[in-house]
Amino acid sequence: MAAHPDDVDFGLAGTVATWTDAGIDVTYCIVTNGDAGGSDPTVSRADMVVLRQAEQIAAAKCVGVSDVRFLGYPDGRVEASLDLRRDIARVIRQVKPDRVACQSPERNYARMPASHPDHRAAGSAALDAVYPDARNPFAFPELAEEGLAAWIVPEVWISGSPQPTHYVDITATFDRKIAALRAHESQTAHMANLPEMLRGWLSRAAALGGLPEGRLAESFQVLDIP
């Protein structure tokens, strides 16, 4: 669950690869089409939607994910609205996940790009969709009318949280994370130092998580929701 195409890849593609390697099915649900992304004024916004969806689908393949869903909200104007909560709750009831990963609704002053307003709004709506919307059979009755039964998600992993509690060693899947990020060509083609930049972030996370020198990690705040 993420606001923009490429958010999943910056935040947790390495972890996703460890999950798919373990045989876990992963679905991506992207709130916007990233139509406010890129810096080329000659690309129309409609073309940007097509491009960024295709890039996200290609990036997902790099880490073993083939189910990618777009909710089509406008990039740059995401709010934690009732409509968004219902639309995320719908996907949860369709997919029936054991775990949801989302962005942090909290502003992380140490990592402002992670705290983009769309990320905070998407994270807030995702948490509300997990609890209580998806599990309460009387929330959004239109979902029950669509034949979607209530679903309890017992675990949430928050990416970009100011209070990480869990560190995943992604040293073995780092190359696939970089491949996934490179698939977002309209966003990362100009970043010659992308692997070095990521190595810097991920080795700092690994050190914070107490992993041995030379390891790379993605960090999460993991919530158990009984």
User: Given the rule CB under 5 A, which of 6-14, 80-88, 120-128, 187-195 is the region that contacts Zn ion?
Assistant: 6-14
Q: How far apart are CA 188 and CA 61, in angstroms?
A: 17
> Closer CB to Zn ion, residue 114 or residue 143?
114
4 sits near Zn ion (criterion: CB under 5 A): yes
For residue 78, give the 3-state DSSP assignment.
Answer: coil
> Count of residues binding Zn ion (CB under 5 A)?
2
Q: Shortest Cβ distance from residue 190 to Zn ion (Å)?
A: 17
- Which residue in this structure is represented by tokens 């030379």? 214
For residue 20, give the 3-state DSSP assignment.
Answer: helix
SS3 content of the chain, % helix, strand, coil (to 5): 45, 15, 40
List the beta bridge partners of residue 102: 158
Q: Shortest Cβ distance from residue 188 to Zn ion (Å)?
A: 13
Q: Shortest Cβ distance from residue 5 to Zn ion (Å)?
A: 8
> Closer CB to Zn ion, residue 17 or residue 30?
30
Site for Zn ion in 7-66 (CB under 5 A): 7
DSSP per position, 60-79: HHHTT--EEEEEEEPTT---
Question: Can the peptide bond before residue 132 be classed as cis, meaning omega within 30 degrees of 0?
Answer: yes
User: Given the rule CB under 5 A, which of 5-13, 59-67, 77-85, 127-135 is the region that contacts Zn ion?
Assistant: 5-13
> Closer CB to Zn ion, residue 148 or residue 186?
186
> Closer CB to Zn ion, residue 68 or residue 148?
68
Q: Which residue's C-beta sits nearest to Zn ion? A: 4
List the beta bridge partners of residue 166: 220
> Closer CB to Zn ion, residue 6 or residue 133?
6
Q: How many CB atoms lie within 10 A of CB 66?
A: 12
* Residues binding Zn ion (CB under 5 A): 4, 7
